Chain A
Amino acid sequence: MKASTRRIWGMMYRHLALYRRSWPRLLELAYWPVLQMCIWGFTASYLAARMGNPVAVAAGALLGGVLLWEVALRSQMGVAIGFLEELWSRNLGHVFVSPLRPWELVAALIGMSMIRMLVGVVPAILLAWALYAYNLFALGPILVLFFANLMIMGWWVALGVVSLILRHGAGAEALAWSVLFGLTPFSAVFYPVAVLPAALRPVALALPSAHVFEGMRAVLLHNEIAWNHMAWAVGLNVAWTLAAALVFARQFRAARVRGALLSIGE
Chain B
Amino acid sequence: MAPNPIATNPNAITVEHLSKRYGTTLAVDDISFTVPAGATLGLLGGNGAGKTTTIALLLGILIPTTGSLHVLGHDMARDRFAALARMNFSSPYVALPSRLSVAENLRVYGHLYDVPHIGQRIAELSRELDLDEFLHRPAGQLSAGQKTRVALAKALINRPDVLLLDEPTASLDPDTGDWVRGVMERYRAESGCTILLASHNMDEVERLCDNVVMLKRGRIVDQGSPAELLVRYGREDMVEVFLDIARDRRQAAEAAL
Contacts and interface: CB of A to CB of B under 8 A. Distances in A.
Interface in A118-144: none
Interface stretch (A95-103, A212-220, A226-234, A239-247): A95-103
Interface string B84-108: 1101010101111111110010011
A91 interface: yes
B99 A98 contact: no
Interface stretch (A17-25, A52-60, A71-79, A185-193): A17-25
A82 to B, nearest CB: 12
Q: How large is the interface on B (under 10, 10 to 19, 20 to 34, 35 or more residues)?
A: 20 to 34
A97 B59 contact: yes
B134 to A, nearest CB: 15
A96 B61 contact: yes
Interface string A81-103: 00001000111011111111100
B99 A22 contact: yes
Contacts of B22: 258-259
B110 interface: yes
Contacts of A181: none
B207 interface: no
A13 B108 contact: yes
Nearest to A9: B111
A7 B95 contact: no
A264 B101 CA distance: 24
Contacts of B91: 93
Given A17-B100, A90-B95, A98 B113 contact: yes
B159 interface: no
A94 B96 contact: yes
Interface residues of A, number: 32
B231 to A, nearest CB: 37
A262 interface: yes
A17 B104 contact: yes
Contact of B99 (A7, A18, A95): A18
A94 B89 contact: yes
Nearest to B59: A97
Interface string A1-28: 0010011011101100110011000000
A198 interface: no
A228 B81 CA distance: 43
B95 A99 contact: no
Nearest to B110: A10
A261 B62 CA distance: 8
Interface in A160-177: none
A257 interface: yes
20 contacts: A7-B112, A10-B109, A10-B111, A11-B108, A14-B97, A14-B108, A17-B104, A17-B108, A21-B100, A22-B99, A89-B96, A89-B97, A94-B89, A94-B109, A98-B84, A98-B113, A99-B84, A100-B112, A259-B56, A262-B56
Q: 7 nearest interchain CB pairs? A: A10-B111, A93-B94, A90-B95, A97-B59, A89-B97, A98-B112, A3-B114
